[in-house]
Amino acid sequence: MTDQQPRDGGRPPLRLGTDEHGNPTVTLSLKGLNAGATRLVDQLDTILGAVAALRAGDLGQPDSLPSIDRAVRDLDRLDKVLGGLTAALIRQHYIAGGSHGQLAAAMEVQRSTAQMRAERLPAEPTYWENWVRGTLPT
């Protein structure tokens, strides 16, 4: 297993390796995240498994429906989480003093597109934005 350099914010590095069959493995730190992170990792594992199964032609038979449905469910949930994360990061970009041009470069879109996405954010954070921030009411 090889360690990568520490990531932004000094977070522990990813550890990349292979299992006994030569398949790639990844170990990452969930430091600073709550128990919800475990669910995210499980959902990501489901999605990556679905990609592998699609590439191998293993989906499409009636007995694969439970796997397909789980992947669809987990992907739908991850889509909501990623939307909340995108909104939170766009807000933080401007709080940190970022410009429309810098955001456009980060998003690899035109400046006007980045500005429009920022302007379309709801005035108040959504449920999923609060979820990724860890600020849901208890």
Name the band, by pLDDT with cuts 50, 70 and 90, for residue 28: confident
State whether 85 and 40 are in the same domain. Answer: yes
Domain count, the chain: 2
What is the model's pTM?
0.78
State whether 23 and 42 are in the same domain. Answer: no
**What is the predicted pLDDT for the residue at 108?**
97
DSSP 45-107: HHHHHHHHHHHHT---SGGGHHHHHHHHHHHHHHHHHHHHHHHHHHHHHHHTT--HHHHHHHH
State whether 39 and 106 are in the same domain. Answer: yes
State whether 23 and 41 are in the same domain. Answer: no
| pLDDT above 60 (res 3) | no
State whether 47 and 19 are in the same domain. Answer: no
State whether 70 and 127 are in the same domain. Answer: yes
Find the distance separating the first CA and the last CA of the chain, reported in whole Å: 40
State whether 96 and 66 are in the same domain. Answer: yes
State whether 58 and 27 are in the same domain. Answer: no
Answer whether residue 125 is part of any domain. yes
Answer whether residue 71 is part of any domain. yes
Which range marks the domain in which residue 48 is found? 35-133
